[in-house]
Amino acid sequence: MSNRGKSWACAALAGATLTLTAGAVPQGPQEQPKKVGLVEQTGRRLAQLDVSVSGPDQAIADLTAADFELSVGGEFIESFIVDRACNVEERVVRTITEPSPGTDEPAMPAPPAPKPTYLFYFDQHHLTAAGRQNSLDTARTIVDQLIKDGARGMIVSAGKYIATIQPMTDDRNLMQDALDRLERDNDQWDPYAYQEDSRIEHVMRELQQDQDISKALMTARQYQREERYRTDKALRLFEITIGRLTDLDPPKAVLYFADSMRKNAGEHYVSYFPRTAGDPDPTISKMETDGFMANNAFDRVVEAASANEVRLYTVQGEGLLAPSMTVNRGNTRNQGAPNANNRRRFDAQDSLVGLARETGGQAFLHGAAGKKIATRIERDLSCLYLISFDVTGMPEDRSLAVNLRSKRDKVKATTRGQIVLASEGKRKTSRLLAAFTGIVPDTDAIKLEGVVIPTGFDDGKYTALVQIRAPSTPLPSSTWEIGASLVSRGKVRQDIAGRIEVDRPAIPVIFEAEMTFGPGPYQLVMVAHEQTTDRIARAEIEADWPDPDAEEVTLGPLTLLQPTEGAFLRDGALRRSGSLGRTADEFVEPGLPAAVIGLVCRKDSKRARKAGLVVSRRLVGETEAPFTDLDLSESEIRCVQLRDIIRAGTMTGGRFTYELKVVDKTDRELTTSTLEFAAVDSDQPTDGL
């Protein structure tokens, strides 16, 4: 999968766009289910905190619930369960505050030690040039030390666009190769942080040159607003990325690489202006208010990490820096804050420390060595205590303060500073976002297919029918939510979504929608969610539409369709059968008719319009079939759709090639294309709709 395609503005499926509902496909008479007297009851809902402990080995070896004091949302938790899961000793000791009397349960077998999941996130908007390079070098060392013994990792970078550089893997070599690709990717670099000194110098220069500070204030205000906007956008992307880990088992750790991210984005510009007696300047007041409001984006990241049981380990890639000479120029009244240059660095470091502290992680500043970082993370996650408690009646989708104290001497307990109890709707949204961005739980690995069928060209864009096919299920009824996002040149261009209900088993589900494509590469990200089983399927199509002005004649993709029974949804109408596009690895049924769809376009020029074009096609293989040549000499249409019908029984079992060739009136070959496929005889389906 290309980096460019991994954009995430495709969150539409996770929200209100999944509202198009077609009537259920009806079933025939069936025996009514018998009532067996079973009643489903809802049990308690438990939340879990992963707790790192430090202290003497003997002191931390046998902690129980009696050794902790826990409060959540200001309320003491009287009863909770403590599980110990260590990599050092393959055993788990469980205790509760009030064990049930009279029970004599056998000892539980020790579960395997938890395997950590690591997400390496590079916030290019907040990395200086030196910080970017140091972060990559540091990450290489960390990968070598942490990605082992079943631990998995993935790499995400947010530059000109957000991209998954390496999907989840336990192969450290793949991780290292991905870091090498990231280092060479110019699209994954942003000069904004590197240019911060220039922006500060601009403000200081105006302060020194003008007797009135209003011009400098307006410049500072402009830069402050830009920084807040960029920070809010960058943290929003980071927040969504954290949600990708929602269905993975803890421990989950995110290594966040940034140099200049500030929760009070842009407020440091205020420090360059002298404080005067009386009421402060209105512009300064607005800047201070904006800096305070910028904390909201920071808080959302903390809440996302808390809701998904993720620890953030923040890494400042750039090393120790000498103070800039910016604030030492001249001796005019703009020197009211001689420490102004350090203010922005302190704000950034304070923000990195805050992210880590609030989520139970650690902060590594001033270009800390990769070995030191990896060792501390490894120590943090090597032996965890898991505290589970009943959250019935607690508020959902809001942060609740967590206070945990160890009552055993010489033992320090560390966990996240808050917890968010995600509602079912919030968790569903996170899971669908995760699927759109590349993570589907292994248990949900069901096959989703998609094809793009060209239909025409108008106003500089191609039109095509997109088919997304979800597999049939053995369930007596199923409900599918299906959506797709079209990504081109780093942006999401179009979203589609639909909902199909089927009330009998073994019925494939096909969602169809018209989409427009600009010339050039594109990625179509498709996600389907089956509500009954709560399973998710994901697939991608990556291809390239030709530029019709690049050559005299260009060809669109070739697609083969065959009739089939299924639940077809298009424009809100549900059909029981239709023409289904076959993918490259699917067999064709020779006993059914088939259609090959293509698109022939000519250059938008007088010469091309006057040129006589002839399109010839033929089918070769075990059996052969010619098609009548198509003469486009008199056609005024720039792009013509081809639709060649292969009658039922024309093909036998075997391999076939559909050949297309375009020549001019002198029989000069202009372009060619082929479509290869295999035909296999099979019994006709007997269970119609």
* Residues 386-440 pLDDT 10s: 888 888 888 888 888 889 999 999 888 888 888 888 777 777 666 666 666 555 5
pLDDT the model gives residue 332: 42
Statement: residue 326 has pLDDT above 50: no
DSSP structure string for 188-244: S--TTTTTHHHHHHHHHHHHHH-SSTHHHHHHHHHHHHHHHHHHHHHHHHHHHHHGG
Contact 305, 347 (CB under 8 A): no
pLDDT the model gives residue 336: 43
Statement: residue 94 has pLDDT above 50: no
Statement: residue 667 has pLDDT above 60: yes
Least Cα distance to 254 among 171, 154, 383 occurs for 154
DSSP type of residue 81: E
pLDDT, one tens digit per residue, over 132-189 is 999 999 999 999 999 998 999 999 999 988 888 998 899 999 999 999 999 999 989 9
- State the average pLDDT over residues 49-69: 86
Contact 129, 194 (CB under 8 A): yes
Cβ-Cβ contacts under 8 Å for 254 (sequence gap 6 or more): 118, 119, 121, 241, 242, 245, 305, 310, 311, 312, 313
- State the average pLDDT over residues 469-477: 89
pLDDT the model gives residue 641: 93
pLDDT the model gives residue 97: 46
Statement: residue 287 has pLDDT above 90: no
How distant, in Å, are the alpha carbons of 149, 163, 241 from that of 174?
A: 15, 16, 20
Query: Residue 120's beta-bridge partner residues?
Result: 155, 255
Statement: residue 339 has pLDDT above 90: no
603 pLDDT band, cuts 50/70/90, is confident
- State the average pLDDT over residues 119-135: 95
More confident residue, 275 or 494: 494
Instruction: Sketch out the chain's domains with CATH numbers.
Output: 46-102+383-420 (no CATH), 117-382 (3.40.50.410), 588-689 (2.60.40.3880)
Contact 72, 389 (CB under 8 A): yes
pLDDT the model gives residue 329: 38
pLDDT the model gives residue 53: 85
- The DSSP H or E segment spanning 178 is helix 172-184
pLDDT the model gives residue 60: 83
131-156 as b/e, with b when 16 or more CB fall inside 10 Å? bbebbbbbbbebbeebbeeebbbbbb
Mean pLDDT taken over the chain: 82
Contact 165, 231 (CB under 8 A): no
pLDDT, one tens digit per residue, over 19-54 is 333 444 544 444 444 443 444 444 567 888 888 888
- State the average pLDDT over residues 203-227: 86
pLDDT the model gives residue 21: 39
pLDDT the model gives residue 432: 66
pLDDT the model gives residue 328: 40
pLDDT the model gives residue 232: 93
- Supply the pTM of this predicted model: 0.66
In the chain, % of residues over pLDDT 90: 43
Least Cα distance to 547 among 513, 523, 524, 517 occurs for 517
